[in-house]
Amino acid sequence: MDNQKWEVVIGLEIHTQLATQSKIFSGASTAYGAEPNIQACAVDLGLPGVLPVLNEEAVRMAVKFGLAIEAEIAPYSVFARKNYFYPDLPKGYQISQFELPIVGKGYLDIEVDGVKKRIGVTRAHLEEDAGKSLHEDFHGLTGIDLNRAGTPLLEIVSEPDMRSAKEAVAYMRQLHELVRYLEICDGNMQEGSFRCDANVSVRPKGQKEFGTRAEIKNINSFKFVEKAINHEIERQVDLIDAGGRVVQETRLYDANKDETRSMRSKEEANDYRYFPDPDLLPVFISEALKAQIKATLPELPGAKKQRFIEQYGQDDESATTLTSSRELADFYEQVVQLSAGEAKLATNWMTGDVLGALNKAGLDISHCPVSPERLSGLIKRIADNTISGKIAKQVFDKLWNGTATADEIIEQEGLVQITDMGAIEAIIDTIIANNQGQVEQFRSGKDKVFGFFVGQVMKETQGKANPAEVNKMLMAKLKG
């Protein structure tokens, strides 16, 4: 695309499933992965005579989110019916919010390539999720599972403030991190707990009015968001360049083909005829409730990152990595505390070996085989020079693959660093005595032979000598 000529405008709508035990308007379970329809009760099925009763926790979670993005919390908000017909929506309407959403204008700060940017959040509203349609062949019919129907959603709508697919991904990541910090959503994208629709348009640079937008539905991974948006930008630019016009429509991203295609069936159904739901009264949020929820807010990612930089002397990159989830940050702080403040070593080990091994094993920090206690045990022995950095890596392997503590491993394997300089001197003397030929070579100017001597000493001490000390002593002796 010609970046000089076109400007891209992106807004995201993100649906987060709230991590409540029960549904937003019924007492059915929201647990994922149950047998079809065993968690769909009379309310979720929209049977005649049932009435919705609002889940207190869903309201609290929405308020918590609003407070975290410095948004206006509506003192008075209203549920509305969004009317459309689809088999996974038994009532023929979705209970949502329209004119008076619970969370008003707020913002989220993102960073792309070192540049900070503030993205506006227009609103966030509570609504119920729909069921699932299974289009596999049931003799030409569609199977409907309504377990998900009624699961609480917080739909978070951004301002059209993003100007590239990268910014959109950064915003999405930031939001994903935030809802997990707040513990209002598990963020599991495979299970559909965090779903994204993108509104994308292009306009000639300098033009004030927005171009006509297309909405891309259900892009369920960070990777696909960037690809889907970039693909859609290209499609629109090509269309306009060829003299065509973008039409307002809903498009579905197909990850297998890396393309978006029109969802024609939804076009004419776009008239939702919202009206206030007579089954539900307005929700009042008092200042007292807001204050009470505010007091439960955890330290947010941005503040935590800043603190890690100041308190632990981390660089920006390490702090970003180690605060990317609350679990990871807590793990790190536990290690620092248990290792009596070895923040720098803890940072190096966490961002290096620990995350590397977790990545390789496909695990997240909550499933790390090495507990903060055992990791700090290792760090303490590096800090007090019991073992060298090189030996530490061996010990870490054993920590990872076993249950012993670092001290037990060091003891059993006899890995203690030799600090007795007399012992090392004796070893060096023997090696020099047994390798007179190499000594001559070294003295005649062949510096490379030095490596041979270091290797011999390390072999003899099984890597337990401090390399810096060995180098110093060897050099002195060889030079005679």
Partner 1 sequence: MSLTADDVKKIAHLARLGINPQDEDNYAQDLSGILDLMVQMGSLDTSEVLPMAHPMDQSQRLRPDKVTEQNQREKFQAIAPQVEEGLYLVPKVIE
Binding site for partner 1 (CB under 8 A): 20-22, 26-29, 35-42, 45, 47, 53-59, 78, 83, 85-87, 92, 100, 133-135, 138, 140-146, 252, 263, 265, 269, 271, 273, 276, 278, 280-284
- 3 state DSSP class of 318: helix
> Which residue, 153 or 391, has its beta carbon nearer to partner 1?
153
Please report how close the Cβ of residue 156 comes to partner 1 at its closest, in angstroms.
21
CA–CA separation, 233 and 165 (whole Å)? 9
CA–CA separation, 1 and 243 (whole Å)? 16
> Which residue, 79 or 396, has its beta carbon nearer to partner 1?
79
> Which residue, 101 or 211, has its beta carbon nearer to partner 1?
101
Please report how close the Cβ of residue 206 comes to partner 1 at its closest, in angstroms.
38
Please report how close the Cβ of residue 154 comes to partner 1 at its closest, in angstroms.
15
CA–CA separation, 410 and 395 (whole Å)? 7
Please report how close the Cβ of residue 253 comes to partner 1 at its closest, in angstroms.
13
Please report how close the Cβ of residue 58 comes to partner 1 at its closest, in angstroms.
8
- Cα distances (Å, whole numbers) of residue 114 to 117, 170, 228, 307, 347: 10, 12, 24, 19, 21
> Which residue, 17 or 26, has its beta carbon nearer to partner 1?
26
> Which residue, 284 or 311, has its beta carbon nearer to partner 1?
284
CA–CA separation, 166 and 328 (whole Å)? 25
The continuous run of DSSP H or E covering 330 comes out as helix 326-338
CA–CA separation, 227 and 323 (whole Å)? 26
> Which residue, 38 or 421, has its beta carbon nearer to partner 1?
38
CA–CA separation, 409 and 2 (whole Å)? 60
The continuous run of DSSP H or E covering 200 comes out as strand 194-204
Please report how close the Cβ of residue 358 comes to partner 1 at its closest, in angstroms.
32
| Token output for 357 | 């091994």
What one-character-per-residue DSSP string does 83-132 give?
A: E---TT-TTSEEEE--SS-SB-SEEEEEEETTEEEEEEEEEEEEEE---E
Half-sphere exposure of 409 (CA within 13 A, CB side): 23
> Which residue, 91 or 305, has its beta carbon nearer to partner 1?
91
Please report how close the Cβ of residue 65 comes to partner 1 at its closest, in angstroms.
16
Please report how close the Cβ of residue 14 comes to partner 1 at its closest, in angstroms.
21
> Which residue, 113 or 137, has its beta carbon nearer to partner 1?
137
> Which residue, 61 or 439, has its beta carbon nearer to partner 1?
61
Please report how close the Cβ of residue 36 comes to partner 1 at its closest, in angstroms.
4
SS3 readout for 166-177: HHHHHHHHHHHH
Please report how close the Cβ of residue 49 comes to partner 1 at its closest, in angstroms.
14
Please report how close the Cβ of residue 106 comes to partner 1 at its closest, in angstroms.
23
CA–CA separation, 446 and 454 (whole Å)? 15
- 3 state DSSP class of 309: helix
Residues in the chain: 480
CA–CA separation, 309 and 318 (whole Å)? 9
**Nearest Cα to Cα of residue 172 among 236, 219, 125:** 219
Q: Which residue has the tokens 């693909």?
A: 231
Please report how close the Cβ of residue 213 comes to partner 1 at its closest, in angstroms.
20
> Which residue, 152 or 211, has its beta carbon nearer to partner 1?
152
Long-range contacts of 129-132 (CB under 8 A, 24+ apart): 129/15, 129/17, 129/153, 130/86, 130/88, 130/89, 130/94, 131/40, 131/88, 131/89, 131/90, 132/88
> Which residue, 284 or 443, has its beta carbon nearer to partner 1?
284
> Which residue, 48 or 445, has its beta carbon nearer to partner 1?
48
Q: Which residue has the tokens 């760090």?
A: 379
